């Protein structure tokens, strides 16, 4: 099957961002925290993207900031994915009261916008990487739960699951060996969407000053640090904003493609 | 009793129950952390006396259940307590800012709803052709932008490159209506961009869904123009899903408003909330968080009620 140009571009950019995040220490020309130039220098040969509000190199901070943003988003979307799908499958295989309890709890959490819950909880929680990852992972697990429960509902009535139950297999076997392999493709496409959501969520929190705290830097926080420059025509804040936008759009393009592939797979298995 | 009325009553009752459960979540969300709320709020600056004072002030000496009922009773009677940071009455502070938030959200709604429906109709009319692709392409990219990113791009574009607006949205009592409108123009554009995409895509989907019905084919075969088919036959039958999508997206404005107010330093409820999260002012955040959650749930109930009422099969039972 040929890959459409949009998905290819998305894949290249996504790959580029992850590459830059992993090899940040090698790629970044200057250290994260060092003021190397004057305040708000325009892009030049020495500082490719200019300098920020206290004279730090924007390109370097963008690379290190991408590392934190991508790390937090990856960790929390993996957590959401793991937690949500395991609970979703458990709800289906256990049924009855467990299913009712979990589903109503998820309904309740989804009845309030995630940002509002996050703001309320962050009043008292310490704003560390761990709490942010846990908070975002748990909030986002509700969406994965809904999807995986719906997918597993269809699979749980299949003959081979019934056969496994009659064989007397344990709960874990049924979830991991019978349901999971068959539910994987829609869930993988969902993982991409959850990742974007996590990137936007952590960026928004950091922009509001409630996410990643200095001395660590992430893209949302960088927009906040440099936003005052915009009024004087200094475009520094736009660089991290652009990075967020490009990452979100490129992962979206890839996820779109995976989604359309898996839906076409459902029609005819051979294709 | 009329079946529609029964359904609507059920839905509203369920919504009220949900609201009650949500109040528990908002309350428990700040309780369910290891250790003590007072030391979490004070952090490094805690001394034994200040801790004891704060515990007294928050009523931490009482049991959580007693505290919940005191808080809930206060909410219902309009007594929201005082802010920890400056001792100001929370109810008063909210009342001063509520109008500004509603003004901003209402402006965004008045522009985005007709625009979204119009664009959705156009995209459905030219489904698969270039106008559809252009509209869908643009909306797809605005969906991937968080509010503050869209906000700063627009600020740069419309205050620096083409200087026609102010980067901060300040409105104060005594300003004329038009002056207020000009002041909030930029934040309104951002909010419109953010909600437009979803509304437009779902309008398009709802219309295309109806377009597959047999009566649409009949209308086409009797020689009506495509726009007349959509306007006279498809749109009336797609009204229920469109209206409920519109209302759900208005609920989404609740979240958008919080971030956009911070971007434009717009003195209203969302900014008040975020400022006080940063200051760890628990009573303020609980009260304002509850208001935002209640509006969000209220709009969702409204969406359900509208789709029940708009459904002719329920309105005219056999």
Pick the residue of A192, A208, A210 with the most B CBs within 10 A to test the interface with B by mutation: A208
Q: Rounded to 5 degrees, what are φ and ψ at B212?
A: -85, -5
Maximal C-alpha separation, chain A:
73
pLDDT tens for residues A107-117?
Answer: 888 888 889 99
Q: What is the pTM of this model?
A: 0.86
DSSP 8-state secondary structure symbol assigned to residue B317: -
What residues form DSSP beta bridges with B82?
Answer: B89
What's the CA gap between A185 and B308, in Å, rounded?
35
pLDDT tens for residues B4-31?
Answer: 888 888 888 988 999 999 888 888 877 7
pLDDT tens for residues A139-191?
Answer: 999 999 998 898 888 888 888 888 888 888 888 888 888 888 888 777 877 88
Q: What is the pLDDT of residue B111?
A: 92
Highest mean pLDDT among A179-183, B3-7, B189-193, B242-246: B189-193
DSSP string, B194-256: HHHHHHHHHHHHHHHHHTTSHHHHHHHHTT--HHHIIIIIIHHHHHHHHHHHHHHHHHHHHHH
Q: What is the pLDDT of residue B171?
A: 72
* Range name among A31-35, A202-206, B248-252, B269-273 with the lowest pLDDT average: A31-35
Neighbours of A128 (CB within 10 A): 11
| Contacts of B226 by beta carbon, 8 Å cutoff, 6+ apart | B125, B220
Q: What is the pLDDT of residue A270?
A: 33
Which residues does chain B have within 8 Å of residue A208's beta carbon, measured at their own beta carbons? 259, 262, 274, 277-278
What's the CA gap between B17 and A111, in Å, rounded?
12
Q: What is the pLDDT of residue A118?
A: 92
Q: What is the pLDDT of residue A33?
A: 76
A237 at B interface, C-beta within 8 A: yes
DSSP string, B40-100: HHHGGG--HHHHHHHHHHHTTTS-HHHHHHHHHHHHHHT---B-TTT--BHHHHHHHHHHH
B304 at A interface, C-beta within 8 A: no
Q: What is the pLDDT of residue A110?
A: 87
Alpha helices in chain A (DSSP H): 5-22, 24-27, 58-94, 96-110, 114-122, 129-156, 159-167, 171-173, 180-207, 219-226, 238-267
- Smallest CA–CA separation between B318 and chain A, in Å? 33
Structure tokens at A66: 């991408």
Nearest CA-CA partner of A165 in A180, A177, A153: A177
What's the CA gap between A156 and A175, in Å, rounded?
10
């Amino acid at each position: 099957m040929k890959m459409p140009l949009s998905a290819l571009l998305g894949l290249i950019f996504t790959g580029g961002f992850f590459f830059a995040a992993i090899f940040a220490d090698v790629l970044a020309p200057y250290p994260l925290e060092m003021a190397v130039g004057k305040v708000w220098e325009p892009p030049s040969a020495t500082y490719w993207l200019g300098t920020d509000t206290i004279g730090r190199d924007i390109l370097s901070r963008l690379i290190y900031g991408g590392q934190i943003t991508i790390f937090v988003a990856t960790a929390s979307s993996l957590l959401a994915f793991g937690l949500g799908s395991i609970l979703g499958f458990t709800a289906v295989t256990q049924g009855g009261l467990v299913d009712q309890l979990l589903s109503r709890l998820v309904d309740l959490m989804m009845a309030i916008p995630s940002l509002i819950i996050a703001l309320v909880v962050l009043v008292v929680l310490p704003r560390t990487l761990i709490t942010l990852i846990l908070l975002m992972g748990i909030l986002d697990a509700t969406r994965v739960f809904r999807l995986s429960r719906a997918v597993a509902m269809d699979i749980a009535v299949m003959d081979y699951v019934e056969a496994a139950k009659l064989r007397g297999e344990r709960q874990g076997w049924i979830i991991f060996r019978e349901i999971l392999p068959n539910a994987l493709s829609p869930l993988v496409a969902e993982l991409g969407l959850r990742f974007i959501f996590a990137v936007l969520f952590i960026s928004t929190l950091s922009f509001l000053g409630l996410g990643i705290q200095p001395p660590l830097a992430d893209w949302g926080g960088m927009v906040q640090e440099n936003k005052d420059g915009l009024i004087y025509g200094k475009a520094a804040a736009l660089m991290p904003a652009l990075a967020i936008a490009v990452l979100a759009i490129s992962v979206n393009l890839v996820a779109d493609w995976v989604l359309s592939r898996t839906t076409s797979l459902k029609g005819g298995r051979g294709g | 009793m009329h079946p529609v009325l029964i359904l609507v009553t059920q839905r509203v009752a369920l919504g009220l129950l949900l609201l009650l459960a949500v109040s528990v979540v908002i309350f428990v969300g700040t309780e369910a952390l290891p250790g003590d709320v007072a030391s979490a709020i004070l952090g490094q600056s805690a001394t034994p006396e200040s801790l004891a004072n704060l515990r007294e002030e928050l009523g931490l000496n009482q049991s959580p259940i007693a505290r919940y009922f005191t808080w809930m009773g206060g909410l219902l009677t309009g007594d929201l307590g005082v802010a920890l940071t400056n001792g100001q009455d929370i109810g008063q502070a909210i009342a001063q800012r509520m109008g500004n938030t509603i003004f901003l959200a209402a402006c965004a709604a008045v522009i985005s709803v007709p625009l979204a429906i119009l664009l959705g109709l156009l995209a459905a009319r030219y489904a698969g052709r270039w106008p559809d692709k252009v509209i869908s392409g643009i909306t797809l990219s605005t969906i991937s932008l968080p509010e503050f990113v869209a906000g700063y791009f627009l600020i740069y574009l419309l205050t620096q490159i083409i200087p026609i607006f102010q980067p901060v949205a300040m409105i104060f009592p005594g300003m004329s209506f038009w002056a207020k409108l000009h002041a909030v123009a930029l934040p309104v554009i951002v909010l419109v961009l953010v909600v437009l995409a979803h509304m437009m895509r779902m309008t398009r989907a709802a219309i295309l869904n109806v377009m597959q019905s047999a009566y649409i084919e009949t209308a086409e075969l009797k020689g009506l123009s495509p726009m007349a088919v959509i306007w006279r036959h498809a749109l009336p039958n797609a009204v229920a899903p469109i209206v409920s999508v519109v209302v759900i997206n208005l609920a989404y404005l609740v979240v958008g408003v919080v971030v956009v107010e911070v971007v434009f330093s717009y003195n209203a409820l969302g900014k008040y909330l975020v400022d006080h999260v940063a200051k760890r002012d628990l009573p303020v955040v609980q009260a304002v968080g509850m208001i935002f959650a209640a509006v969000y749930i209220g709009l969702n109930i409204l969406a359900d009620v509208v789709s029940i009422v708009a459904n002719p099969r329920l309105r005219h039972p056999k």
